[in-house]
Amino acid sequence: MRIATWNLNSVTARLPRLLEWLSAASPDVLCVQELKCSSDMFPVAEVSALGYEVAAYGTGRWNGVGVLSRVGLDEVRRGLPGEPGYLPEGAMFEVNEPRAIGVSCAGVRLWSVYVPNGRYVGHPHYDYKLRFLEALRDTVAAERDHGRAFAVLGDFNIAPADDDVWDISAFAESTHVTEPERSALADLRAAGLADVYPRALKYDVPFTYWDYRAGAFPKNMGMRIDLAYGDPRFTGAVSDSYVDREARKGKGASDHAPLVIDLDL
């Protein structure tokens, strides 16, 4: 079984690349993030033509998550239980951003997540990020030990260790590397999950994200922020895992590359 996760940075803008990649990589399940479209605008017909069912959760031009599966799509839940809302600046009411969707595929329970960026330390979005991660931890604790493999995959917007960014000195006091964010990942591990670390291929660290600016990708000035956290049933079945850097190359690419995991289940 091949399971992958990919921040598309707009499914509409990336649709030709997505369809090409699905045909070439042939994942059984693909978790996607940053759809930047509403659920009813997801290109279901184009993806279905390749044999995939779709569960999408999006409300507009920002955020959005989904799962594409050719091995079944059951027990769909949009949003984490107890998930916090976010109060945008100048707004009177909190909004529920579409950042998590849970599904069951061929006996494996999966969550596709797009963890809030946090913007900068001290910003209300940073506090929202930490509260979202608390809700994710609670979901893991409630769901992971039900006799089936369990994993959370997606764009966590957190680099687990200093080596997971191209130059830690460039991230002093910025989000993605702070102690509270990394402690939240430690809480997921304490809840029974482990980081599925991809094999490095050509590079020492398998980054998954490179900024569009300043030639970051050819210089390999990247970050490993697209992660897969699985329980022992999931991690024990992993036979291979890698970052598909080829998907980041060329015109019209997302600024993220897919993380691909093969399992013997």
Sort 134 into a burial class: Cβ within 10 Å, 0-12 / 13-18 / 19+.
middle
- The yes-or-no answer on residue 114 being catalytic is yes
155 is in an annotated binding site: yes
Please report the DSSP string for 140-192 in residue order: HHHHTTSSS-EEEEEE-S--SSGGGBS-GGGGTT-TTS-HHHHHHHHHHHHTT
The catalytic position among 52, 128, 155, 244 is 155
How far apart (Å, rounded) are the C-alpha atoms in residues 22 and 78?
Answer: 24
127 is in an annotated binding site: no
Helix segments in the chain, DSSP class H: 15-25, 44-48, 124-143, 179-190, 232-235
The catalytic position among 52, 57, 86, 114 is 114
Cα distances from 228 to residues 59, 111, 211, 214, in angstroms, run 25, 10, 21, 28
How far apart (Å, rounded) are the C-alpha atoms in residues 84 and 131?
Answer: 6
34 is in an annotated binding site: yes
How far apart (Å, rounded) are the C-alpha atoms in residues 265 and 134?
Answer: 30
9 is in an annotated binding site: no
Among candidate residues 263, 228, 164, the one with its CA nearest the CA of residue 6: 228
- The yes-or-no answer on residue 256 being catalytic is yes
40 is in an annotated binding site: no
Q: What angle do CA 255, 124, 229 make, to 5 degrees?
A: 50
**241 half-sphere exposure, CB direction, 13 A CA radius:** 24
- The yes-or-no answer on residue 86 being catalytic is no
Instruction: Please give the single-letter amino acid code of residue 246.
Output: E
157 is in an annotated binding site: yes
Among candidate residues 174, 154, 125, 152, the one with its CA nearest the CA of residue 226: 154
Q: Name the residues annotated as catalytic.
A: 114, 155, 256
Residue positions forming the annotated binding site: 7, 34, 155, 157, 255-256
Residue positions forming the annotated binding site for Mg(2+): 7, 34, 155, 157, 255-256
